């Protein structure tokens, strides 16, 4: 087994005084794929946001270590440069900022952080082209403003494209499959799989087993009411698909 | 009523009465006695037009007439717009500098000169267009300008004339020896089917209290195209009142870009009147007040005839304790059927102390028109900021990306390409908190803008 990438201990978080995460423990090692499932409003996106550094959530207790470093003390941009990537459940539109300029700024700051020379304009364009092909993004999309007027599917592809550009150590995919038709789902999943290797890890948040047919998890967790209440192998996802969450809720209450 | 520390009107005007003035444009050297300043007072806050513009800071100073200062070409070159090949007219403290200027006088009377020269050499042309709009009586400052302006730029395009290069008017103020008032009276006439681009830039040579009072009369004749750019980069203690009045004739096209980057209090008025059918007007503005600066834009578009079009896009980023005003009014007369008018003002406040007063207004008496107006004021979008940061872009860069995106359409609209490139560069530097030397304002006059935070 690989080294530990991410170690979450007793993570508690609130928003506007409301407790959302109530003691999360989770460990992810290099080369692993974890899935988190759970009913609406259980705190899945909150967990993802807290890991990415969204300030509106307040961490009230707990500790997160990422590659041996204290993740929670880092600014969002540092987390990204260290290798954390969040594909947003609802990517927002940024009028006036083209994907090309956006990625140019991001890649250059990532390279600077790693002590690498900046890419030449032609090297950058080559990288863009290569990664666009990986998620089958139309070439002209890159000249448009980030997510502006994109269809749901295009937004999700754009997230995976950005992930491909930045090659994170830990990719958190928050319902990247929601709202995709089967063809788009296959493309997105293939893109994610191609980026997988023995040194990085993927955390997929999903409601649907069908994604997990493509991105096969090593571990499946169930998040309910701010806690991980069950952890199992990939067969747990099938069981949830079949039986829903009620039996888990009952288990928790007992 | 005089406010605290405010000097009286008599004191303010004394300089014009006491000193002999030889180059008066308006009153043939009669020291303005012909104009009755007893009935026209300082603007004050009870007037709707001045409600949000406090000129108290201006009226604390007793300004004198400045001297003309000798300048070398190298200094002036610092203020040229890189890559802009233009006819240059250079003024300092209200005085014309012929050595640094490129005058034009061509057969058929194409003229690019100082106003005083045109008055002397072509009185028939001068008298026909000078004071031909009603700008002179708009307010205290335009009246003052009409009475005592020392000089200005005069551009006369006969019918069908097309200027091969833009005209760049450079106005310097220098209050090194004393607090100085400079008054410019510009007159532009664009004859039928003529076309020209004009850039008027303002800079300070030193950090001192100065007041620049500009009045520009523009007549755009049938089917003519005139593009007018105002670039304001005076120092941090410089005040400016800048009033433009435009009369448009049938099927004419007037566009303006007002770019206000620096100055203590800057007030711009642009008043447009469509005298005939089918006129088009496009007014653009961007303003970035910082510290305690106050930048104003007042627009009045009067659609008096049918089939007219007007667009206004003004955008501002207000930092620290600075403030801005946008007051845009579109008046559509009963006769002005089929008018298309759009007004938009958008502001971003960077701090909780920054302030903006925005009031787009429509007053419509015709029934078959399409008019719209909108105004938004907000902060940098926190979610957008987080999105960019989550991809590894630091906060400062992310803010720069978002703010330049916010301004991008107004910048892209600038028609004089080298000016557009310069403005883009200056604004990007500004947003990154980098100091800009010798471009925006003058080396000494520029304190450097505070980094945004
Ligand atoms: N910005 C916010 N302001 C207030 N409450 C919020 C905010 N974001 C999330 N919450 C609350 O936090 C709780 C958890 O929400 P979260 O989005 O993490 O759930 P989720 O598991 O991702 O749900 P879904 O499956 O619907 O995406 C919910 O009760 C939600 O209402
Ligand atoms: Mg969610």
Instruction: Spell out the SS3 assignment of A180-212.
Output: CCHHHHHHHHHHHHHHCCCCCEEEEECCCHHHH
Q: In this predicted model, what pLDDT tens digit does every residue of A105-153 receive, in sequence order?
A: 999 999 999 999 999 999 999 999 999 998 888 878 888 999 999 988 8
Pairing of strands A33-37, A145-146: unpaired
Sheet holding A69-70, edge to edge: A18-29, A4-15, A58-66, A69-70
3-state secondary structure of A114: coil
Residue B88, domain member (yes or no): yes
Distances (CA, A) of B424 to A43, B56, B339, B429: 43, 33, 33, 9
Q: How far apart are CA B218 and CA B270, in angstroms?
A: 11
For residue A214, the distance in angstroms to the closest alpha carbon of chain B comes to 26
Q: Ligand 1 centre from A220 Cα, in Å?
A: 20
Residue B95, domain member (yes or no): yes
Per-residue pLDDT of chain B (453 residues; tens, 9 = 90+): 456 678 888 888 888 776 555 445 655 444 444 556 667 788 888 888 888 888 888 988 989 888 888 888 888 888 889 899 999 999 999 999 999 999 999 888 899 999 999 999 999 999 999 989 988 878 899 988 988 888 999 999 999 999 999 999 999 998 887 899 999 999 999 999 999 999 999 998 887 899 999 999 999 999 999 999 999 999 889 999 999 999 999 999 999 999 999 999 999 999 999 999 999 999 999 999 999 999 999 999 999 999 999 999 999 999 999 999 999 999 999 999 999 999 999 999 999 999 999 999 999 999 999 999 999 999 999 999 999 999 999 999 999 999 999 999 999 999 999 999 999 988 888 888 776 655 565 445 566 666 555
Check CB contact of A48 with chain B, cutoff 8 Å.
Answer: no
- With a 6 Å cutoff on the Cβ, whether A26 touches ligand 1 is no
- With a 6 Å cutoff on the Cβ, whether A43 touches ligand 1 is yes
- Does position A194 have pLDDT exceeding 80, yes or no? yes
Check CB contact of B406 with chain A, cutoff 8 Å.
Answer: yes
Provide the number of structural domains found in chain B. 1
Helix (H) or strand (E) holding A157, with range, is helix A152-166
Query: How high is the mean pLDDT of chain B?
Result: 89
Q: Residue A235's pLDDT band (boundaries 50, 70, 90)?
A: very high
CB neighbours of residue A210 within 10 Å: 14
Closest ligand 1 atom to residue A42 Cα is 21
Confidence (pLDDT) at B444: 54
Which residue, chain included where needed, has tokens 């005089």?
Answer: B2
**Which candidate, A30, A35, A32, A31, places its Cα nearest to that of A211?**
A35
Q: Ligand 1 centre from A45 Cα, in Å?
A: 7
Counting Cα atoms < 13 Å in the Cβ hemisphere of B400 gives 20
Provide the number of structural domains found in chain A. 1
CA A143 to chain centre: 24
Confidence (pLDDT) at B164: 94
- With a 6 Å cutoff on the Cβ, whether A132 touches ligand 1 is no
Ligand located closest to A207 CA: 1
**A152 burial class (0-12, 13-18, 19+ CB within 10 angstroms)?**
middle
Q: What residue spans of B359-433 are helical by DSSP H?
A: 382-389, 395-413, 417-432
- Beta carbons of A159 and A91 less than 8 angstroms apart: yes
Which residue, chain included where needed, has tokens 């109530």?
Answer: A22
Residue B93, domain member (yes or no): yes
Interchain proximity B392–A145, CB inside 8 Å: no
Residue B16, domain member (yes or no): no
- Beta carbons of B127 and B91 less than 8 angstroms apart: no
To 10 degrees, the CA torsion angle through B12, B15, B17, B18? Answer: 140
**Which candidate, B281, B301, B9, B4, places its Cα nearest to that of B143?**
B9
Q: How far apart are CA B238 and CA B445, in angstroms?
A: 9
Q: How far apart are CA A121 and CA A132, in angstroms?
A: 16
- Show the CA angle centred on residue B259, arms to residues B246 and B425, nearest 5°: 145
Q: How far apart are CA A245 and CA A221, in angstroms?
A: 12
- Beta carbons of B342 and B371 less than 8 angstroms apart: yes
**A198 burial class (0-12, 13-18, 19+ CB within 10 angstroms)?**
exposed
| B:379-398 residues touching chain A, CB 8 A cutoff | 383-384, 386-395, 397-398
Check CB contact of A57 with chain B, cutoff 8 Å.
Answer: no
Q: Please enumerate in sequence order all residues whose Cβ is within 8 A of that of B329, keeping only pairs 6 or more positions apart, or say none.
A: B299, B300, B301, B360, B361, B362, B363
Greater confidence (B68 vs A52) lies with: A52
* Residue B157 backbone zone (phi > 0: left; psi -120 to 50: alpha; other: beta): beta
Which residue, chain included where needed, has tokens 């999943």?
Answer: A189
CA A118 to chain centre: 26
Residue B381, domain member (yes or no): yes
Q: Please enumerate in sequence order all residues whose Cβ is within 8 A of that of B341, keeping only pairs 6 or more positions apart, or say none.
A: B301, B303, B308, B309, B310, B311, B330, B332, B362, B369, B370, B371, B372
Confidence (pLDDT) at B445: 56
Q: In this predicted model, what pLDDT tens digit does every residue of B189-210 receive, in sequence order?
A: 999 999 999 999 999 888 789 9
Pairing of strands B294-303, B323-332: parallel
Check CB contact of B378 with chain A, cutoff 8 Å.
Answer: no
Containing structural domain, residue B279: 63-432
- With a 6 Å cutoff on the Cβ, whether A41 touches ligand 1 is yes
Percent of chain A with pLDDT over 70: 99
Q: Which residues of B touch A145 (CB under 8 A)?
A: 405
Confidence (pLDDT) at B376: 95
DSSP assigned state of B50: G
Query: How high is the mean pLDDT of chain A?
Result: 94
For B174-293, strand residue ranges (E) read 180-190, 195-204, 210-220, 225-233, 238-248, 253-262, 265-274, 280-287
Q: How far apart are CA B341 and CA B338, in angstroms?
A: 10
* Mutate-to-test residue for ligand 1 from A21, A37, A41, A89, highest number of ligand atoms within 8 A of CB: A41
**Which residue in A76, A101, A145 is closest to B390 by CB distance?**
A76
* Residue A67 backbone zone (phi > 0: left; psi -120 to 50: alpha; other: beta): left
Confidence (pLDDT) at B338: 97
- With a 6 Å cutoff on the Cβ, whether A221 touches ligand 1 is no
Interchain proximity A81–B408, CB inside 8 Å: no
Containing structural domain, residue A72: 4-253
For position A147, which CATH number holds? 3.40.50.300
**A182 burial class (0-12, 13-18, 19+ CB within 10 angstroms)?**
exposed
Q: Whose CA is nearest to atom 11 of ligand 1?
A: A41
For residue B413, the distance in angstroms to the closest alpha carbon of chain A comes to 14
Q: What is the ipTM of this complex?
A: 0.96
For residue A217, the distance in angstroms to the closest alpha carbon of chain B comes to 25
Residue A242 tokens, joined: 């079949």
Residue B305 tokens, joined: 């005839």
Confidence (pLDDT) at B28: 44
Confidence (pLDDT) at B147: 83
Confidence (pLDDT) at B26: 54
Interchain proximity B392–A102, CB inside 8 Å: no
């Amino acid at each position: 087994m690989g080294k530990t990438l991410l170690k979450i201990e007793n993570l508690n978080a609130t928003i506007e005084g409301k407790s959302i995460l109530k003691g999360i423990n989770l460990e992810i090692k290099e080369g692993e794929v974890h899935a988190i499932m759970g009913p609406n409003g259980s705190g899945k996106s909150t967990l993802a946001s807290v890991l990415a550094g969204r300030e509106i959530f307040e961490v009230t207790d707990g500790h997160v270590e990422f590659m041996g470093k204290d993740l929670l003390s880092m600014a969002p941009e540092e987390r990204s440069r260290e290798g954390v990537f969040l594909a947003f459940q609802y990517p927002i539109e940024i009028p006036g900022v083209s994907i090309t300029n956006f990625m140019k700024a991001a890649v250059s700051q990532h390279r600077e952080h790693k002590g690498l020379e900046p890419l030449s304009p032609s090297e950058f364009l080559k990288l863009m082209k290569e990664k666009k092909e990986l998620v089958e993004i139309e070439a002209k999309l890159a000249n448009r403003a980030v997510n502006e007027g994109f269809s749901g599917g295009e937004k999700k592809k754009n997230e995976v494209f950005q992930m491909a550009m930045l090659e994170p150590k830990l990719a958190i995919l928050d319902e990247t499959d929601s709202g995709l038709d089967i063809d788009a789902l296959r493309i997105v999943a293939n893109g994610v799989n191609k980026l997988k290797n023995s040194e990085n890890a993927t955390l997929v948040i999903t409601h649907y087993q069908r994604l997990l047919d493509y991105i096969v998890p090593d571990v499946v967790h169930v998040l309910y009411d701010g806690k991980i209440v069950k952890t199992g192998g990939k067969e747990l996802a099938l069981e949830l698909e079949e039986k829903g969450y009620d039996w888990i809720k009952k288990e928790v209450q007992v | 009523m005089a406010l605290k520390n405010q000097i009286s009107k008599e004191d303010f005007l004394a300089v014009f009465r006491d000193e002999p003035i030889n180059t008066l444009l308006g009153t043939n050297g009669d020291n303005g006695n012909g104009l009755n300043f007893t009935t026209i007072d300082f603007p004050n806050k009870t007037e709707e037009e001045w409600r949000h513009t406090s000129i108290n800071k201006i009226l604390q100073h007793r300004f004198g007439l400045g001297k003309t200062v000798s300048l070398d070409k190298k200094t002036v070159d610092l203020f040229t717009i890189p890559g802009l090949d233009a006819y240059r007219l250079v003024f300092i403290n209200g005085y014309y500098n012929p050595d640094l200027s490129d005058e034009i006088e061509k057969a058929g009377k194409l003229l690019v000169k100082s106003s005083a020269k045109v008055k002397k050499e072509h009185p028939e042309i001068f008298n026909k267009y000078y004071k031909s709009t009603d700008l002179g009586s708009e307010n205290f400052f335009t009246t003052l300008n009409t009475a005592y302006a020392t000089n200005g730029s005069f551009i006369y395009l006969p019918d069908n004339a097309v200027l091969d290069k833009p005209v760049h008017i450079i106005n310097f103020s220098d209050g090194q020896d004393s607090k100085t008032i400079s008054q410019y009276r510009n007159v532009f006439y664009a004859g039928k089917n003529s076309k020209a681009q004009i850039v008027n830039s303002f800079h300070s040579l030193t950090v001192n209290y100065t007041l620049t009072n500009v009045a520009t009369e523009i007549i755009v004749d049938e089917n003519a195209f005139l593009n007018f750019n105002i670039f304001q980069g005076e120092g941090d203690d410089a005040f400016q009142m800048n009033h433009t009045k435009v009369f448009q004739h049938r099927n004419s096209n007037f566009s303006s870009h007002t770019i206000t980057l620096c100055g203590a209090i800057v007030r711009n008025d642009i008043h447009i009147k469509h005298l005939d059918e089918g006129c088009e007007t496009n007014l653009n503005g961007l303003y970035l007040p910082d510290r305690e600066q106050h930048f104003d834009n007042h627009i009045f578009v009067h659609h008096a005839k049918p089939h007219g079009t007007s667009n206004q896009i003004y955008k501002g980023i207000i930092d620290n304790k600075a403030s801005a005003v946008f007051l845009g009014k579109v008046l559509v007369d009963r006769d002005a059927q089929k008018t298309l008018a759009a007004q938009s003002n958008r502001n971003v406040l960077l701090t909780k102390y920054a302030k903006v007063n925005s009031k787009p207004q429509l007053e419509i008496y015709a029934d078959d028109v399409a008019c719209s107006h909108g105004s938004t004021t907000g902060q940098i979008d926190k979610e957008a900021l987080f999105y960019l940061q989550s991809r590894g872009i630091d906060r400062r860069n992310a803010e720069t990306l978002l703010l330049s995106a916010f301004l991008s359409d107004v910048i892209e609209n600038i028609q004089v390409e080298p000016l557009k490139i310069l403005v883009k560069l200056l604004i990007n530097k500004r947003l990154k908190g980098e100091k800009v030397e010798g471009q925006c304002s003058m080396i000494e006059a520029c304190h450097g803008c505070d980094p945004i935070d």
